[in-house]
Amino acid sequence: DAEITQSPRHKITETGRQVTLACHQTWNHNNMFWYRQDLGHGLRLIHYSYGVQDTNKGEVSDGYSVSRSNTEDLPLTLESAASSQTSVYFCASSEGQENSPLHFGNGTRLTVT
């Protein structure tokens, strides 16, 4: 079965370190997204991609970057981790067609100390 996998599931890092969260999907979807979930804020869009070599900023993109070198992967990098980036991060993918729903991974819980 096709799936979307995030790794690691849990990560603890120190302020100022660079951290990369992995996202891999086998749906062969063109669209991939990164959201963060915080209490009181719901799901907020960080970055997204509509295909290889395409990346776009979302609502809360400061301090994050992504790259899309193939269809399957969209890694999320925190250039210099801050305590405000402690959150649960969700990767999602969808077909390129209008009204296709998002398929989410199970999330990465990141703690920045």
Partner 1 sequence: DQQVKQNSPSLSVQEGRISILNCDYTNSMFDYFLWYKKYPAEGPTFLISISSIKDKNEDGRFTVFLNKSAKHLSLHIVPSQPGDSAVYFCAARNSGNTPLVFGKGTRLSVIA
User: Which residues bind to partner 1, rule: CB under 8 A?
Assistant: 4, 31, 33, 35, 40-45, 48, 50, 58, 90, 92, 96-99, 101-107
Least spacing, CB of residue 87 vs partner 1, in Å: 14
Least spacing, CB of residue 104 vs partner 1, in Å: 3
Task: Give whole-number Cα distances, 103 to 15, 78, 100, in Å.
Answer: 31, 23, 9
Which residues neighbour 35 within 8 Å (Cβ) at sequence distance 6 or greater?
Answer: 43, 44, 45, 46, 89, 90, 91, 92
Q: How many residues does the chain have?
A: 113
For partner 1, give the closer residue by CB, 57 or 73: 57
Least spacing, CB of residue 86 vs partner 1, in Å: 17
For partner 1, give the closer residue by CB, 17 or 41: 41
Least spacing, CB of residue 15 vs partner 1, in Å: 26
For partner 1, give the closer residue by CB, 14 or 98: 98
For partner 1, give the closer residue by CB, 16 or 59: 59
